[in-house]
Structure 1
């Protein structure tokens, strides 16, 4: 005899809601089923047809028991109210539900006469579910799935199941059940977007896994099977962990599984891992898909943490919580030594950082390999400061392993300092900050590296000081010896920006050394500003200008000489008069603003006087003292890098210059050195002290005596140190006045708005050419070989467009522009660049490893055609439209428009049919 179906309270309720409205007052309902109410008899109130009815449920196994239950029910009905109000349930309207397996033909006619439909009713759970979802038909696969039908009846929400069309599909029913039971998604939604990310994120919630663990075993198995097919083969293991009450560890365990499977001791690691998973691991074959899914989720979470959205911090905390828990589990199970420096775990990042620590004092290739290993770690970007500091350390290793710098002249040394040695000083400043990990071994390693760099830098400063002493004896504006003098900066760098009605803004950052300047320039938004430099002679690259300060390198002499355009000494009034006189001789009005004259009133970013000056046709100069002032109050000791936002009013001044279409000249009057000597370091006694870094008297170790027309104090003769650790006054954060490269070399940075004209005789300076090769890590051949100053063949010597070489020959760029696909694509781009320019850009990008700045791309095109590209970003955008066939990103602007990136493989596939 077949077992009777079991029904719960909800099935009874739905049956009554369907049958009682048409029952003609009958109050006995016979049900062919077993009630799962937990007790033999049960009572509850049900609202039917707008009124509350008292329901009594009893189970009986014989006709006599059924008859007796009905008589007792009738006897108890007095018609008395059981509640207040007309809708309250009255006992006289109560309904008796009898669950039984007694056949209808064994029941007496007196009982059947009072029963609804005069016979026992069968409960079809499929019909009930169909009714609850408002469907007219049901997925046939659900009819035999008792676990699903029962779960849907039991889990029905207070507001009921959502109606989802004429046919209730199995997937829709299970999705609704998952939303109700596991709080995964919205019950009312027609679809539930379930993937591994969603499921693993659910395990990290406070209640998700516990909800799953509380489900009946059959329901857990059914949902697990469906999720396994829908989400992937990782779901069963994940849900097994949730069922064991360890759902929050699912993602950390997945990360550990990945580490174990890829370790050199995979077998031993797998055994240890098995003890962590326990019964949740059905087989080791299930580890791989589970590990792959987990690491895929973590990888995507890391990408979110690296982004710029508002939830970046939240994403970072989430992923670090997972990975630190994985590390903790690994330590508890003694897995750490077996999995090694894993690519996900924080311990793996620290281990790779330790390997780099050792490699810094060996061969450069070993340090490079250790750095690649570190940056390959998935947490490299989340540990951005430590990673950047490690990258900086390897840059210094490259410099130490490179050719020893030589001083052949003052002018050569000044240019080389701005082009290379200033970056060394910047790197030393970064390392001197110390690592956030506070690892003693790493700190000691950085300290040793700094000492090695300083030893070489001291030797270079000593050479420079000797050359400077000889040069100073005769150097003057009439005979500069090939150097750019500080008093000539206005004439050589500012005046070209003022030609043809140009209105330059000259920003004098008092005390800005070259290392500060190169970092500030690197921060500029190249979509807004284009750096320009004077063209150089044939065969030479155009580079930034570097000037030489007056002696001693102090504000009263150097800044005044800079602003007056001649060697002189004085204060602000002399500077203001001299500045106006210099420009008056060139038939231009000019205004100079010092500290206190350009800060705005409350509610104003800049003073009204300065704003009016910027709006006029006058040449405007502004002196910013932030850096120089910081040497006194200790700010420099806190961080080795200056950012644009660190310098008071600099962002506002740059924005104003952009808005008024003004080119900008960033310049200094002198540099500075920092005091990094120990607190107990004793300075030697010295006489004739004139300032922190200059005095009179015979030179001693670490000093040099200078005499000549450029020495504008103490009768034209001073003694100044080249060693950075010498000073003659009380301790401060930093000093100036000496003759080290950092103090004497003046950075000169010229900028024009992206839409503005480039001065005649000047050219664009791509970002790649502002950094030395050792900083970049590889020789940027493309950027170097597309200098606009290199000779370009005359048009008659150049092959006609489309006729570079025989088909199939030539560079990748040449073959691309000869292809049929390129010809077809070119038809859709209005005013497409010449084929020669496009080919040159492609080859330049390939030579640079696939990435160049928009400026370098424009320079490559200019070198090939002789035609200047005034708007590099717009040019790059045209190239995007030209090369991106059917929307595939062969070429695109990345990093907020700072970089043009070429996908070489996709280019070959789209234009040359190369799918290899």
Structure 2
């Protein structure tokens, strides 16, 4: 029967019996050509085809006598059980009597293909499985049959289905490649990271290894065979990390490439590869890591698993690179943690060069693959550093009045404080180069803020002597906030919810305002489209400032006085009101807000709520010191906002006073001073870093105190922060008015454009912006500037502080102005004066006046081509146009007027929240020369 005797096991015997037992005609003996494996079970059961199972005994015999003895012994001991004898004895040597007892009356030769058909329940096999190079496959399928059996495949078992099943079981990827699922390297690389995964492939017979590798190469590309060779060499767990390092060979001509190749070769442990294989493997690894990084950005178990996979790979790659001195060569690798750190070092160097160099370096940091999901705080910190560099590159601002200073603080300098707060904390990974660069930048920015606080204190000292509620000098006073901000809202539509965020600074207001308006759930409203800033009373402590804010007049008091005076103020103005303090807010278990508070917000009355989270953090610290303040981090604020929005109420977010942070560890010991009354104010003569204040706005010590304006001074033991001084961060009181829609806006109020509260240096794309100027009727210029609130690059400077009575500096009511362009010279006017515009206008029903279109074009042009929808609407109304019921509507009309022949001259971007003007396309489509467009 031939020299080769196949080794058989239980799977083969079971398959043969499944084929021949139904036709056995009661015979119990089956002879099979082969040798039964010594380790295989000698007794087991098989289905009998009639719903029952029969016991099977297996023996091996090498002679006719051995076969006969085995049969006789079986009959004597096991009755009706089946006996299978494996043998290499030829049929012609078996006696007739024995042949008569045998199934099929002959020795059965194993046909592996038939067994495979039986195992998969298939009527036939793909014919390729019966010839090279797939002859190894049937035996492999028989050997790999899982305990629960192979899935039934129907009429024909295709080669693809067979290989998918085999690879799934052999590699431990059951179900991954089943059906029509894509066979890709992602799954193979994930498999290589699994404990024991690569070992399963390494122990397979060589023919099976080669066959699986060839099939995977056809399906997944050239990367698969190299990955499997690494697995065979024991490098499977390192395969993905090695794929990252193999990028060192992608730079041809690099003098270090030869050394890098040798270093990489030492890590590959002699595994051979074609250059195309290595390139494919590198590309596959990078693509897979990119996808894993994307998965890690979400939440849940799968994202957490992806995060661990990514970190395991990149950290292992960094360790391998360091072991063969490849870290320097891989400095630009976009996946390695060491590459991210190197990018931060380059940023640190660029910070000392220029703002543009720093911005380019930061963009390189941001482009690192790990940046958004694994190092977001570090990327944001680097961004804050670049922003501070841009701020320091601005002309040195000046302080010309108290009102101008507090307004500038809320819309400019407070944003610098916001960046400073984060930079003070430093990077989470200590690096001497980065730490030194951040430290220098922080100190330079603090020095500028120190000078601004000093100048402000000087102005404040003179202004305080005469400023009164009825003589504010054009400034918004904290005791007038209810009357000038909340009362117009109450008279116009729904009564407001007044939320007092005690301790909120301009920096915190910038964070909260940005978060609340960025989602589209809230818009910010303001008189003339401006965010207001009030001036605190002195000393800037809660008992003085919050009591006066809620009373509508200067007064000292606590919660009881605040509640009584708040209700009385609104009664005087024909509104009922209620005020809730900390103890009045929480509900019983299972609810957040007390029923009385929810009911008050649902009723037609003014509701005030005092939240002390920010102020209390000064005494107790925060869970994440130096991190940004968010809506969720202020206790009860999310619930209050949601409840107010559900009722259509506007919300006034206002501070009682600000605070300064303790940024100097050496200042834990209080400054030595006499007559100390609180952390930041005392009585007695003023010294360095202090200012003497007296007048009607000072409510302690008979109207005369000494307050610290320097952030470094405090008179009481060290805490996270302090209140009561004369620094801008303490005296400037941000006032934010939020509403679900602009329908609740009082007359003369408008949506506050982002451009009017975000300084031009905050984002690189934001060019220095001048006030909008209408293309015709220059007499509207001041009105237009008041509505937009946009300003030149820097605050007007002054050699010396001056009184408000003589100051003509920018304030909320008098924003900084630049010289208006002559109407006939503006780009917008040139456009609307063309015959092409007349032709376009003929096809637009109810087109706005030329002056409105020109004003919008000029506003967009002045802003560098991009404005928020709110700013565009402000330009429309300021030029005499009617405010559209739908802001997008005016842009739709403008597209019909300006998008000649379908070209995108003007369009909505950023999920339809901003408007972009393509200046070059505008000039081309309306056949203007560059000179006519305002370009030399």
The TM-score, its normalising length taken from structure 2, stands at 0.81
Contact 2:36 2:60 in 1 (8 A): no
Contact 1:782 1:845 in 2 (8 A): no
Which residue of 2 is the match for residue 172 of structure 1?
161
Contact 2:861 2:917 in 1 (8 A): no
Instruction: Name whichever of 229-238 and 106-115 sits farther off.
Output: 106-115
Which residue of 2 is the match for residue 402 of structure 1?
394
Q: Distance in 1 between matches of 2:39 and 2:598?
A: 90
Q: Distance in 2 between matches of 1:471 and 1:842?
A: 41
Where do 1:252-291 residues align within 5 Å?
252-262=241-251, 264=254, 265-291=256-282
1:425 and 2:417 are equivalent in the alignment: yes
Which residue of 2 is the match for residue 709 of structure 1?
696
Instruction: Name whichever of 233-242 and 701-710 sits farther off.
Output: 701-710
Q: Distance in 2 between matches of 1:182 and 1:400?
A: 59
Which residue of 2 is the match for residue 94 of structure 1?
83
1:377 and 2:364 are equivalent in the alignment: no
Where do 1:94-113 residues align within 5 Å?
94-100=83-89, 102=90, 112-113=99-100
Cα deviation code 1:530-551 (max 9, x no counterpart): 111111xxxxxx4311111123
Which residue of 2 is the match for residue 244 of structure 1?
233
1:528 and 2:517 are equivalent in the alignment: no
What's the secondary structure of 2:652's corresponding residue?
Answer: strand
1:547 and 2:557 are equivalent in the alignment: no
Contact 1:487 1:566 in 2 (8 A): yes
> Residue 223 of structure 2 is aligned with which of 234, 246, 257?
234
Shift of 1:25: 4.4
Q: Distance in 1 between matches of 2:867 and 2:309?
A: 34
Q: 1:549 to 1:74 in 2, by over 3 A?
A: closer
Which residue of 2 is the match for residue 22 of structure 1?
23
Contact 1:547 1:746 in 2 (8 A): yes
Shift of 1:218: 0.6
> Residue 386 of structure 1 is aligned with which of 373, 378, 390?
378
Contact 1:768 1:783 in 2 (8 A): no
Which residue of 1 is the match for residue 6 of structure 2?
6
Q: 1:746 to 1:69 in 2, by over 3 A?
A: same
Instruction: Name whichever of 255-264 and 212-221 sits farther off.
Output: 255-264
Cα deviation code 1:323-379 (max 9, x no counterpart): 101111111222212222421101111122222233333322332232122111111
Contact 2:35 2:86 in 1 (8 A): no
Shift of 1:680: 6.2
Shift of 1:20: 3.6
Instruction: Name whichever of 429-438 and 230-239 sits farther off.
Output: 429-438
Shift of 1:169: 0.8
Cα deviation code 1:95-148 (max 9, x no counterpart): 434335x4x677765665555444454433223222322222221111112211
Instruction: Name whichever of 238-247 and 836-845 sits farther off.
Output: 836-845
Q: Distance in 1 between matches of 2:571 and 2:459?
A: 36
Which residue of 2 is the match for residue 47 of structure 1?
46
Which residue of 2 is the match for residue 339 of structure 1?
330
Q: 1:351 to 1:876 in 2, by over 3 A?
A: farther
Contact 1:661 1:756 in 2 (8 A): no
Q: 1:134 to 1:75 in 2, by over 3 A?
A: closer
1:218 and 2:207 are equivalent in the alignment: yes
Contact 2:29 2:83 in 1 (8 A): no
Shift of 1:165: 2.0
Which residue of 2 is the match for residue 493 of structure 1?
485
Q: 1:543 to 1:53 in 2, by over 3 A?
A: same
Q: 1:604 to 1:70 in 2, by over 3 A?
A: closer
What's the secondary structure of 2:582's corresponding residue?
Answer: coil
Contact 2:679 2:724 in 1 (8 A): yes
Instruction: Name whichever of 157-166 and 259-268 sits farther off.
Output: 259-268
Which residue of 1 is the match for residue 445 of structure 2?
453
Contact 1:549 1:558 in 2 (8 A): yes
Unaligned segments of structure 2, at least 5 residues: 774-783, 789-819, 900-905, 923-936
Shift of 1:405: 1.1
Q: 1:632 to 1:854 in 2, by over 3 A?
A: same
Which residue of 2 is the match for residue 508 of structure 1?
500
Contact 1:783 1:860 in 2 (8 A): no
Where do 1:757-768 residues align within 5 Å?
757-768=744-755
Q: 1:126 to 1:684 in 2, by over 3 A?
A: closer
Q: Distance in 1 between matches of 2:430 and 2:110?
A: 71
1:141 and 2:103 are equivalent in the alignment: no
What's the secondary structure of 2:78's corresponding residue?
Answer: coil
Q: 1:861 to 1:308 in 2, by over 3 A?
A: farther
Contact 1:837 1:861 in 2 (8 A): yes
Contact 1:837 1:865 in 2 (8 A): yes
Cα deviation code 1:35-70 (max 9, x no counterpart): 25346999544536245354445465xxxx4x4344
> Residue 569 of structure 2 is aligned with which of 559, 571, 582?
582
Contact 2:828 2:857 in 1 (8 A): no
> Residue 585 of structure 2 is aligned with which of 590, 598, 601?
598
Which residue of 2 is the match for residue 79 of structure 1?
76
Shift of 1:867: 5.3
Q: Distance in 2 between matches of 1:182 and 1:835?
A: 72
Contact 2:168 2:176 in 1 (8 A): yes
What's the secondary structure of 2:734's corresponding residue?
Answer: strand
Unaligned segments of structure 1, at least 5 residues: 83-88, 536-541, 884-889, 909-916
Contact 2:525 2:745 in 1 (8 A): yes
> Residue 665 of structure 2 is aligned with which of 674, 678, 682?
678
Which residue of 2 is the match for residue 633 of structure 1?
620
Q: 1:224 to 1:754 in 2, by over 3 A?
A: farther
Shift of 1:766: 3.6
Higher relative contact order (CA 8 A, sep 6+): 2
Q: Distance in 2 between matches of 1:670 and 1:181?
A: 69
Contact 1:636 1:674 in 2 (8 A): no
Q: 1:593 to 1:873 in 2, by over 3 A?
A: farther
RMSD of aligned Cα (Å): 4.5
Cα deviation code 1:131-170 (max 9, x no counterpart): 3222222211111122111111111223322222211110
Q: Distance in 2 between matches of 1:254 and 1:287?
A: 8
Shift of 1:756: 4.9
Q: Distance in 1 between matches of 2:251 and 2:852?
A: 47
The TM-score, its normalising length taken from structure 1, stands at 0.83
Contact 1:256 1:326 in 2 (8 A): yes
Contact 2:848 2:881 in 1 (8 A): no
Shift of 1:21: 3.4
Contact 1:527 1:754 in 2 (8 A): no
Contact 1:755 1:870 in 2 (8 A): no
Q: Distance in 2 between matches of 1:369 and 1:40?
A: 68
Q: 1:865 to 1:731 in 2, by over 3 A?
A: same
What's the secondary structure of 2:525's corresponding residue?
Answer: strand
Number of aligned residue pairs: give it: 857
What's the secondary structure of 1:447's corresponding residue?
Answer: helix
Contact 1:754 1:871 in 2 (8 A): no
What's the secondary structure of 1:338's corresponding residue?
Answer: coil
What's the secondary structure of 2:762's corresponding residue?
Answer: helix
1:741 and 2:728 are equivalent in the alignment: yes
Q: 1:449 to 1:781 in 2, by over 3 A?
A: closer
